[in-house]
Amino acid sequence: MKYYYDLHMHSCLSPCGDMDMTPNNIVGMSKLLGLDVIALTDHNSVLNCEAVMKLGVENDLCVIPGMELTTMEEIHVVCLFPTLEKALLWNDYVKEHQMQFPNRVDIYGRQVIMNELDEEIGEVENLLILATDISVMNVKELVERFDGVCYPAHINRDSMSIISSLGDIPPECGFTTAEVSSSGNVEQLKASYPILNDMLIVRDSDAHYLENMKDAENFFELETLSIDSVLQKLKNT
């Protein structure tokens, strides 16, 4: 069966995420758009995943806990996990490997943690968008220690992408999946970067605002829908 996905979106926890990106609004808009499975991938944090996952269960929406990691090379990598518990352990690991610099709310915006009622239950004090000391060259191995799957984000962009930073996707990274944003031309990218011909290409919204979320268009063919079946698909092995 076809299951429509969007595996890269941000909540109000991301400093660049709009305050309207609350757990209820994200799940509600996902259902309106016809999505079957989503992943919440805030910058360097998974702390709003629990609320969105709870709402997903209530609304028949498969929600994968995730994170958009910033590597030491300032490359964005989408990291997805089979359970909230594994995601939270990864969150603790990343926190230990990130620069600790106070957030300037007047410049970057708030970083709000919410529950499933869209009530504010906390705020992250240190700026989340800063680079970690985790290299893109070993991030896949590290994520797999937490039973997760990862892939380079928006590879066609001029900044914060693996191609803009390194000029290509080094095979040593071990990635088997890559994300191309909606503005990217997959065939042109494959012609320029042959490694992509052996990789699964996913298309995600990277939504920071509700209006950035996309209609159900991209899908996986799966026998049954579950977090495990989606992660297995993304392994592309």
b/e code 178-205 from CB counts within 10 Å (16+ = b): bbbbeebeeeebbeebeebeebbbbbbb
CA angle 236, 75, 203 (to 5 degrees): 45
User: Sheet holding 76-80: strands in order across?
Assistant: 149-152, 76-80, 62-70, 37-43, 2-9, 219-221
| Alpha helices per DSSP H over the chain | 23-33, 49-58, 84-96, 105-108, 139-144, 162-166, 186-192, 227-235
| 3 state SS for 125-148 | CECCCCCECCCCCCHHHHHHCCCC
Residue 142, both tokens: 């590290």
Predicted pLDDT of residue 154:
98
Predicted pLDDT of residue 237:
67
Q: What domains are there in the chain, each with its CATH number?
A: 2-235 (3.20.20.140)
Among 139, 6, 21, CA closest to 76: 139
Dist. CA 178–CA 173, nearest whole Å: 12
Helix, strand or coil, per DSSP, at residue 39: strand
Q: Measure CA 70 to chain center.
A: 11
Predicted pLDDT of residue 64:
98
Among 229, 236, 235, 232, CA closest to 37: 229
Predicted pLDDT of residue 182:
87
- Tell how strand 37-43 and strand 62-70 pair up: parallel
CA angle 35, 36, 39 (to 5 degrees): 85
Mean pLDDT by 10 residues, the chain (237 residues): 98 95 98 98 98 98 98 98 98 96 94 98 97 98 98 97 98 98 94 97 97 96 98 90
* 92 touches 146 (CB < 8 A): no
Predicted pLDDT of residue 183:
87
Helix, strand or coil, per DSSP, at residue 220: strand
